[in-house]
A = this chain, B = another copy of it.
Amino acid sequence: MVYFNNAATTYPKPAAVYEAMDEYYRNNAGSLGRGGKEMKSAGTLVADTRQLLKELLHTSLHEVIFTPTATLALNMIIQGLMKRPVKNVYITPFEHNAVTRVLHAYADKINLRILAVNKDCSFDLERIGYQFADCQPDLVIMSHASNVIGVITPVAEVFALAKKYEAITVVDMAQTAGLVDFDIAKAKCDFAVFAGHKTLYGPTGISGFLMNPDVELPTILYGGTGIDSANQDMPKDIPARYEMGTPNMVAIAGLHAALMKLKENNISSYYWQEQDNRKHLLDVLNNYDFVRLVGINNNLDYVGVVSFIIDGISSDSAGQLFSRLGVELRTGLHCAPLAHEFLGTYPAGTIRTSVGIYTNEEDLLRLNDSLYYIKSNL
């Protein structure tokens, strides 16, 4: 089995992540803020992990909030903001169901608009300026990179326009945190969501968001925080206000190791390694006439996610075929139906291949072999 499904979760993780998790868990009960002496070492680990995330995203302003998944982070942000007078909401055509399904639950309350993007996947900043002037944005949510085609979106440029209207800004960095070097303070992001188990190369079970503490975010989830227990409201303090329930210390230990490794190697080495692997992936796919790439524009930047279709074979059938041939990838809508409507690949979807920093020559050879087999049997 060779692995081309890194956009779902990166695999493998750095060895240091497995080691840190196993070692931490065997040696620590680690129930943060819920014990005596233990508290200190767990507390230090958590504080250090928050600090590494702030450094990674070039901010001293934002607070770091941990959540079990990026989906929960987006629920807390979007549903929290929905308790405020937020009406006009703009999103890109590339948003994941973790954004669009949440917004759909508020369809009666909001006025949802799609940012102007050209057919070639470039953002039309001039037209977006007119959109905002015509209908002033209260909230703008952007995927930093599409999980379907990998295109990196001009977050800083769009948010600069949005901030003229004092809109609240949210960037979903599930496909970019730890991979694309990005200054969330300079880009005027009020909220930046990360997924620990994707481009950060940490484990599942730990994700979260960075928030501008000057933006009022009402709470939507409640529970024990290990502090201020007599108060039946959630504590005022950030991050405690948004972190209820037992923290996933073993996952934080894994994420900490991943972030230390990333800092040691430098984010640009991860980025260029993945870019290199993406180039090799495109070389393989371009060998075959029956492969039709989707959403590629050579003037834009991409992360290592490439979607394609094969003429005459449905995505689902192709998926089963690749699986039989030992290639793990993903087919269908990738939880982003809106993106496929935009790309013209709805409802059948695409075949999605996604590389990581550990994708190697053998993986690419096996993918090539499987395409050769498909060609010979078309």
State in angstroms the CA–CA spacing of A71 and B330 once bound together: 32
- Is A68 a contact of B71 with CB atoms below 8 Å? no
- Is A30 a contact of B9 with CB atoms below 8 Å? yes
Residues of chain A at interface, number, CB under 8 A: 81
- Is B246 a contact of A204 with CB atoms below 8 Å? yes
- Is B31 a contact of A13 with CB atoms below 8 Å? no
What residues of B have a CB within 8 angstroms of the CB of A71 in the complex?
A: 221, 223-224, 244-246
- Is A205 a contact of B36 with CB atoms below 8 Å? no
Which residue of chain B lies nearest to A37 when distances are taken between CB atoms in the complex? B323
- Is B329 a contact of A246 with CB atoms below 8 Å? no
Question: In this assembly, does A251 line the interface, its C-beta being within 8 Å of a C-beta of chain B?
Answer: yes
Question: In this assembly, does A159 line the interface, its C-beta being within 8 Å of a C-beta of chain B?
Answer: no
Instruction: Count the copies.
Output: 2
- Is A336 a contact of B72 with CB atoms below 8 Å? no
Question: In this assembly, does A18 line the interface, its C-beta being within 8 Å of a C-beta of chain B?
Answer: yes
Binds B, one of A99-107, A258-266, A284-292: A99-107
- Is A230 a contact of B337 with CB atoms below 8 Å? yes
- Is A36 a contact of B204 with CB atoms below 8 Å? no
State in angstroms the CA–CA spacing of A238 and B71 once bound together: 18
Which residue of chain B lies nearest to A38 when distances are taken between CB atoms in the complex? B328
Question: In this assembly, does A3 line the interface, its C-beta being within 8 Å of a C-beta of chain B?
Answer: yes
- Is A36 a contact of B224 with CB atoms below 8 Å? no
Q: Which of B22, B69, B206, B347 contacts A22 (CB 8 A)?
A: B22
- Is A97 a contact of B223 with CB atoms below 8 Å? yes
What residues of B have a CB within 8 angstroms of the CB of A25 in the complex?
A: 13, 18, 21, 203
Question: In this assembly, does A311 line the interface, its C-beta being within 8 Å of a C-beta of chain B?
Answer: no
Known contacts: A246-B197, A319-B36. The answer to whether A233 contacts B18 by CB under 8 A is no
- Is A98 a contact of B229 with CB atoms below 8 Å? no
- Is A223 a contact of B31 with CB atoms below 8 Å? no
- Is A224 a contact of B105 with CB atoms below 8 Å? no
- Is A75 a contact of B36 with CB atoms below 8 Å? no
Cβ of A104 to closest chain B Cβ, rounded Å: 4
- Is A5 a contact of B21 with CB atoms below 8 Å? no
- Is A3 a contact of B22 with CB atoms below 8 Å? no
Q: Which of B104, B234, B323, B333 contacts A101 (CB 8 A)?
A: B234
Cβ of A98 to closest chain B Cβ, rounded Å: 4
Contacts A8-B34, A101-B224, A101-B232 known; 13 new A-B pairs at CB < 8 A: A9-B31, A21-B22, A21-B25, A29-B328, A68-B205, A71-B221, A97-B222, A97-B224, A98-B224, A101-B222, A101-B234, A101-B244, A229-B335
